[in-house]
Amino acid sequence: MEDLRFHDLRHEATSRLFEKGLNLMQVAAITGHKTLQMLKRYTHLRVEDLAKLLG
């Protein structure tokens, strides 16, 4: 794979942790993000997953 960086892996892992149902504090503790703003940069939730959580 060309152009694969640590940033890409961190981005993917962060989103998957949220998909597993972890909350903000839990994900931040695992990923090491110190602010919500930085955590949001790495997180891209899918609309389908949010809809499932809402029922």
pTM: 0.69
Inter-residue contact 40 to 28 (CB < 8 Å): no
For CA atoms 39, 45, 49, 53, the dihedral sign is positive
Phi, psi (degrees; rounded to nearest 5) at 2: -90, 150
Tens-digit pLDDT profile for residues 4-51: 777 778 888 888 898 888 999 999 999 998 998 988 887 777 788 788
pLDDT confidence of residue 27: 94
pLDDT confidence of residue 19: 83
The end-to-end CA distance of the chain, in Å, is 38
pLDDT confidence of residue 12: 87
Inter-residue contact 27 to 14 (CB < 8 Å): yes
Q: Where are the domains of the chain?
A: 6-54
d(CA 25, CA 3): 30
Does residue 52 have a pLDDT over 90?
A: no
